Amino acid sequence: MANIPDRPTLDGIEDRWADQWDTDGTYRFDTSAVRSEVFSIDTPPPTVSGSLHMGHVFSYTHTDLVARYQRMQGKAVFYPIGWDDNGLPTERRVQNFYGVRCDPSQPYEAGFEPPFRGDPPKKHQAVPVSRPNFLELCDELIEVDEQVFEALYRRLGLSVDWEQHYATIDERSRRASQRAFLRNVERGEAYSQEAPTLWDIDFRTAVAQAEMEDRERPGAYHKIPFQVVGDPASTIEIDTTRPELLAACVALVAHPDDERFQPHFGTKVIVPLYGQEVEIKAHELAQPDKGTGIAMICTFGDTTDVTWWRELQLDLRVIIGRDGRILADTPSGVDPDAYAMIAGKYPNQAQRAVVEQLTEQGILIGEPRPIEHPVKFYERGERPLEIVASRQWYIRNGGRDTDLRNDLIARGHEVTFHPDHMRHRYENWVEGLNGDWLISRQRFFGVPIPIWYPLDASGEPVYDTPLVPAEDRLPIDPSTDVPDGYTADQRDQPGGFVGDPDIFDTWATSSLTPQIAGHWEEDDGLFEKVFPYDMRAQGHDIIRTWLFSTITRSHHEFGVVPWNHAALSGWILDPDRKKMSKSKGNVVTPMDLFDQYSTDAVRYWAGSGRPGVDTAYSEEQMKVGRKLANKLLNVSKFVLSFGDVDMDAALADTVTDPIDRSMLAKVDATIAEATTGFDAFDYARALERTESIFWWFCDNYVELVKSRAYESLGPDAAASARRALREALSSLQRLLAPFLPFATEEAWSWWHDTSVHAASWPTASDLGGDPTTIDATIDALTLVRRAKSEAKVSQRAEVAALAISAPESLHAALEAGRADLAAAGSIETITIDPASADALSCDVTIAPTDDV
């Protein structure tokens, strides 16, 4: 037997085996496999500029469990991983790390040295740098960040194929992203349009509906009267939380069924302070129970205003600019003197000024009434979103098209969700979309939109006839590359061309991970082997973004769903059932936990979290996992210590004892349950069943037969026990291998030359044993142990006589275990008598001890 350490330990085994797997290529994808032999997995590329937390460990472990199971089932597992490095999170991290900010008007500076590399002082003013310099710093930092992530994932034991690695900013990703987009454009699935857009005034970029969230914020209703045109004695009172937008008012609106306002529909009123005349309109989105029941429509205060403006075909009277300030120029029809009081102010400052004016002039009715109301924010933003008109690129997603929406809902039904109820999140989201998917961002670090526009004679872009590159030129950067038929000196010249200055939102690229990871159109045959993927793994919080957008892109490009199964992981909650977050200071570093409890122990905790269920962070569970892994090492050592066993002889010829066959029948049943669980992506169930039989095996079966295995009853009886022990151990090690990859590999290596992770998933030994045969003997053993516990003697204490009373139906089973029971309980004589009751009972006579 190979070297079994005297004292097996979990400490330090991770690096040793991770290196070995790397050397052996244990998890390398077999590119010669045909599609039916492949199990392909689409995993989330983590945002490398973010923090590493237990949420990553949790959900990535779930994916790995399934990957390892499928690999042991003989599948060629395609399990790539990528980093999501493009986008705003990286920009922010670069700003905070180097103390710089991107200013595209700055010239490029070769060999630029940033003022800091990490922790600039708080009072430091960010140094403006050119876009190319800024992007260089992005590239520099993500390389460092990615190494940290890779180290963690290797330590976690993810069985990913590191050769299939990608990043969302790398050349292949840019090519795939641009190619997919250009095909969307060609088919009319992507288009650009000048339209009202959700806008973050701090990041100065457009934001998609999926990135928007409601936050409860204090506000106040201001009751303001509008004088009716032609009837100075009559007023209409409105309640508004945004009096600063009075200048942008284009209409009032009430519900068509509201009898209070029906007489007024079509009449005009005068906006206080600013004097423009606006009409009273009817629309069913007006809420009669909100405020006074009639609202002002401004261009634009919120998304409902956009709907009203569009459907009621109202004027445009924009007053908020892209920097969030009130525009300098007075809109048409608005009193310039009143407007001058708010021009240049931020909305909150403007509100104070307007309320002051209203109060001074005695217009405001009563005091403002404070309320809490939901306000729309960019999920990363700090000030409320505004709505500005701007030209942006969109991909159709059913938000403006019922047929497409229904198609995408139908696609959702082609995916099996785990757990199933997560499909509701998807459908809820698709049904609630109110516009197409905005993919352009006015930012810097990302995949450039591969489009130029011709400039007309006056130098204005002709947006209707964009210039697109041939696919074989991709990826391109329109700010440096030149469209076919033009020369570089025509850039920005009348009659020349201009590059689209924007980049894609991160989701526009990460929605293509199946294409990117699978080398779509890279002509190496990989894509056809892996697509559509077998499995998408992700957290349930990004169903509306990543899951939905990936289905949308696949639907447009291929007319199929990108994967057959979507496995959703839950969140990690802290022990108080709150979502863990850095701001609450309750985030623990995964690496420390790996060191403290062993990686396998942490994986055990993750594996016990059921699919889709939010799970409490629990170091107690990690302790249990450590105990399990430790026990596996020790019981393996013990089972393998009984001398050589002829593993070539037929199992049925060697394992003859009905007790041994009964145990193996129990293991068979567990193998079936674990297999059923894994086939349904329910790794937690597989773990629970496996763990249960494992502890039973250690505590009961091993204790019962170890004397026989020591040859107390002769060589044949010993051979049956030894072979059964090894058979069971082999199955148990393999059943646990997905969960405890390091400990099982360690223990497996003591008696095999190849990896347990390349071994086949266990199958039933099928010796025809009765799984219940052993139970009566174990029950009797438990009663003997109890008697010794109650007598407060050692479990090794001798028992002079054991009288078992049992129903006659159990006598044969008890006879089968009689000799093992006598040895395990140190029992001199055992009698088995019929019992009147159904239950088994024991009368234990403990032998007198020789007091020394």
Partner RNA sequence: GGGCGCAUAGCUCAGUUGGUUAGAGCGCUGCCUUCACACGGCAGAGGUCAGGGGUUCGAAUCCCUUUGCGCCCA
- Pick from 191, 429, 486, 527: which binds RNA (CB under 7 A)? 429
Residue 792 binds to RNA (criterion: CB under 7 A): yes
Q: CB of residue 784 vs RNA: minimum separation in angstroms?
A: 9
How distant, in Å, are the alpha carbons of 14, 454, 592 from that of 707?
35, 89, 42
Q: Are strands 615-616 and 572-573 parallel, antiparallel or unpaired?
A: parallel
**Of 357 and 670, CB closest to RNA:** 670
Residues in contact with RNA, shown as a per-residue x/- string from 543 to 582 under the rule CB under 7 A: -x--------------------------------x-x---
Residue 695 binds to RNA (criterion: CB under 7 A): yes
Q: Are strands 205-206 and 38-42 parallel, antiparallel or unpaired?
A: unpaired
Residues in contact with RNA, shown as a per-residue x/- string from 646 to 685 under the rule CB under 7 A: ---------------------------x-----------x
Residues in contact with RNA, shown as a per-residue x/- string from 5 to 44 under the rule CB under 7 A: --x-xxx---------------------------------
Q: CB of residue 306 vs RNA: minimum separation in angstroms?
A: 12
Q: CB of residue 285 vs RNA: minimum separation in angstroms?
A: 9
How many Å apart are CA 362 and CA 381, to the nearest integer?
37
Residue 421 binds to RNA (criterion: CB under 7 A): yes
Token pair listed for 53: 């937390």
How many Å apart are CA 447 and CA 508, to the nearest integer?
9
- Pick from 64, 85, 302, 703: which binds RNA (CB under 7 A)? 703
Residue 793 binds to RNA (criterion: CB under 7 A): yes
Its sign, for the CA torsion 753, 757, 758, 759, is positive
Asked if residues 568 and 613 have their Cβ atoms less than 8 Å apart, the reply is no
Its sign, for the CA torsion 648, 653, 658, 662, is positive
Q: Are strands 190-200 and 166-167 parallel, antiparallel or unpaired?
A: unpaired
Instruction: Tell me which stretch binds RNA (CB under 7 A): 164-172, 517-525, 622-630, 732-740.
Output: 622-630
Strand partners, 83: 167
Instruction: Tell me which stretch binds RNA (CB under 7 A): 144-152, 227-235, 580-588, 788-796.
Output: 788-796
Instruction: Tell me which stretch binds RNA (CB under 7 A): 438-446, 548-556, 609-617, 719-727.
Output: 609-617
* Size of residue set near RNA by CB under 7 A: 66
How many Å apart are CA 740 and CA 472, to the nearest integer?
46
Instruction: Tell me which stretch binds RNA (CB under 7 A): 128-136, 635-643, 729-737, 842-850.
Output: 635-643
How many Å apart are CA 97 and CA 89, to the nearest integer?
12
Residue 702 binds to RNA (criterion: CB under 7 A): yes
- Pick from 365, 560, 588, 624: which binds RNA (CB under 7 A)? 624
- Pick from 623, 749, 835, 845: which binds RNA (CB under 7 A)? 623
Strand partners, 166: 82
How many Å apart are CA 190 and CA 192, to the nearest integer?
7
How many Å apart are CA 68 and CA 160, to the nearest integer?
10
Instruction: Tell me which stretch binds RNA (CB under 7 A): 98-106, 250-258, 651-659, 700-708.
Output: 700-708
Q: Which of 507, 505, 519, 449 is nearest to 172 (CA)?
A: 519
In angstroms and rounded to an integer, the radius of gyration of the C-alpha atoms of the chain is 35
How many Å apart are CA 810 and CA 808, to the nearest integer?
5
Q: CB of residue 719 vs RNA: minimum separation in angstroms?
A: 19
How many Å apart are CA 411 and CA 551, to the nearest integer?
7
**Of 534 and 703, CB closest to RNA:** 703
- Pick from 692, 760, 831, 841: which binds RNA (CB under 7 A)? 692
Q: CB of residue 101 vs RNA: minimum separation in angstroms?
A: 31
């079936």: which residue's tokens? 672
**Of 16 and 35, CB closest to RNA:** 16
Please report which residue ranges of 279-346 form alpha helices under DSSP H. Answer: 303-311, 336-340
**Of 135 and 743, CB closest to RNA:** 743
**Of 117 and 637, CB closest to RNA:** 637
Residue 794 binds to RNA (criterion: CB under 7 A): yes
Residues in contact with RNA, shown as a per-residue x/- string from 274 to 313 under the rule CB under 7 A: ----------------------------------------
Give yes or no for a cis peptide into 475 (omega within 30° of 0).
yes
Asked if residues 446 and 169 have their Cβ atoms less than 8 Å apart, the reply is yes
Q: CB of residue 178 vs RNA: minimum separation in angstroms?
A: 28
Asked if residues 621 and 604 have their Cβ atoms less than 8 Å apart, the reply is yes
How many Å apart are CA 154 and CA 152, to the nearest integer?
5
How many Å apart are CA 410 and CA 416, to the nearest integer?
12
Residues in contact with RNA, shown as a per-residue x/- string from 196 to 225 under the rule CB under 7 A: -------------x---xx-----------
How many Å apart are CA 622 and CA 601, to the nearest integer?
5
**Of 123 and 577, CB closest to RNA:** 577
Strand partners, 827: 799
Residue 410 half-sphere exposure, CB side, CA atoms within 13 Å?
10
Instruction: Tell me which stretch binds RNA (CB under 7 A): 4-12, 46-54, 87-95, 252-260.
Output: 4-12
Residues that bind RNA (CB under 7 A): 7, 9-11, 209, 213-214, 374, 421, 424-425, 428-429, 431-434, 540-541, 544, 577, 579, 608, 610, 613-616, 618, 620-621, 623-624, 626-627, 630-631, 634-635, 637-638, 641, 673, 685, 688, 692, 695, 698-700, 702-703, 706, 782, 785-786, 788-790, 792-796, 838-839
